[in-house]
Structure 1
């Protein structure tokens, strides 16, 4: 491929241009999006994981719930467009309404506002098979075409990995930082490092690490059992220079509350306090 073919325009280049050719790295940086005229968002926090299955959406739900309980005004953008599950956890359903300003988000029982593709589908199990550019466009619309109102914290539940959506959020949303989610396995820790390193490369602050499924506590003897091995949160946080970390247990009550659409009833304040302190 010759040099002309290798060049990418600002509209088509969507990766970390610091590692790209000079013609690409010299392109203009995408302008940060602003919410619509009916919205005022104080802080935007992304929740990220390098791989799926570690509980990123759960962590998003729990952080949002604890902030709401503390009297903050909270919204959630479900940026996992092709695998959305935020509405299910809160028992929120569509269809959504709209006005001249934009789309009105759904609300949980406690008033957490949320937007998700699953709130727009006729059936919640309908597949969303969209290509990367379309998904990235939806993320932009979720931010600046939704009537968020007055929001203290907008949490962005990312899809796993470091592909188009993560780059769109890092480049176009006014992020105040991210929280990354891991599990007590070296493989997961290594993949978390990829997301953390990308954040550093793109000048996005990493606020904290949540190690999910860190242990199971027996109901009778209250002994902690480390099903997936000894917790690694402290070591991983130190390795990647992450300011604070927290651990969450394997708790059957969590699954029951998610299935019932009542996740905000779960008390995660003490477990997530190190993360909540940094965010606030």
Structure 2
């Protein structure tokens, strides 16, 4: 059986990009093609080759083509990027300029943080935004619409930042570091949005709650995948990996409850420390 060797650092990187874009974990992708997660991790990191039939199967499962995975764009072949491929690699995921949002949504976010979703009213939001109540209703259907928009804004930003952070790393350990840093930075720099995300999921209508919960699960999925890969690279047991993933995620999502920008530590210092905490929890050295 023909096996494609490595050149595979490029092949592995493209496999990983396609898999992340398809929203599949290392474990699930390995299950679909009939190999162990450790084997697929070795392919993605360029430590082993992959057979041609298995590469075709991977392309099918990931919604791309073997030509794209093999980077045959140098040849006159039409290539196709994977579905939903991340193009955020050039975006500065460590930078947090002011949010470009309208005054009504800004007022709603402030109100939800100050009084909670149920304590805020469309009248109080309109007053805070310096608008009439009918003017607010011209832009948003109701208070639920504002909450959904705030949480969608949160998840959109989290996904592109985590995706951009992970795309910079070649190993599971480094992806884990960057994922934790991206989460910590978001939950400190965007602590108002993060606070609403942590406290007001229960206030969503069922359909939006399910949709946004799924979006949050995808972030956890990526974190869990990076933990699995980092542990496999370090030849460590993975039996407590899922519990560690929940602990690390909760550590980050709890930041808005106590962090203040005028406190003794900067968001960047917190991000570095939390990445160290994550590695320490897993027994992996910096």
- Normalised by the length of structure 1, the TM-score is 0.25
- Higher radius of gyration, 1 or 2: 2
Structure with greater proportional strand content:
1
- Normalised by the length of structure 2, the TM-score is 0.25
Structure ranking higher on relative contact order (CA contacts 8 Å, 6+ apart) = 1
Structure with greater proportional helix content:
2
